[in-house]
Amino acid sequence: MSDILQLVEPIIPALRRYARGLLKDATAADDLVQDCLERVIAHWHHRRNDDPRTWVFAILHNLAVNRLKQNARRGEHLPIEKVDESAFARQPTQEDSLMSRDILQALELLPEEQRSVLLLVSVEDLSYSQTAEVLAIPIGTVMSRLSRARERLRQMLENPGQATQGAAAHLRRIK
C-alpha cells in the first residue's frame, strides 16, 4: 500500500486539474478523482508499466467520459444552493481575470476530444505518446486534435464574437 501511495500521491493535483477541466465543476471533479483513486487501488495489480501516470490518467479519462455521457442522458443538475445571482452582477476588474474567463469559456466551446488532448498536453505536460496512451488513440490523432484545438482556441480568443457561432462559422457554401 505504501508503494501505491508514494507513486500516486504526487499525481493527485494533476488529476484534480484535469478532472476540473473536463467536468467544469469542482465538486464533481473531486468526486471523479475519488472514484479514480478507488479504482487505482482496487486494480493496482493490473497496471502494465512502472510509470503509473499514464495508467491513472487513462482511468480518470474513461471515468470522465462515462460520467459526461451519463449526464448528457440525464441532463444537467444544478442544486439551488449553487445559484449565486450576485456573481452574475459583478464584473472582474483585472485584465488577467478577464483573459482567464475568456480562455475558460473558449475551452468549454471546444469539442471534448480536442479539449482532452489540449488539457493533457498543455496543462498536465504529458507527452504526445503518453496522451495517446491515456486516450487510447494513435499519436497522429493526438497531434491533429491538438493542432485543431490550438487553432480554434486562438480564433475564438482573437474574434470573441464569432466564438458563440460554433461550428457554423466553419461551414462554407458550395455552389
Listed in sequence order, the residues at least 6 apart from 124 whose beta carbon sits closer than 8 Å to its beta carbon are: 14, 17, 18, 57
Q: Which domains does the chain have, with CATH numbers?
A: 1-75 (1.10.1740), 94-165 (1.10.10.10)
Give yes or no for a contact between 107 and 23, defined as CB atoms under 8 angstroms apart: no
Q: Is residue 155 within 8 Å of residue 161, measured between CB atoms?
A: no
pTM for the model stands at 0.55
Q: pLDDT by residue (tens digit) across 1-14?
A: 667 778 888 999 99
Task: Dump pLDDT digits (tens) for 118-131.
Answer: 999 998 989 999 99
- Cell 478507488 sits on residue: 38
Q: How many CA atoms lie within 13 A of 63 on its CB side?
A: 23
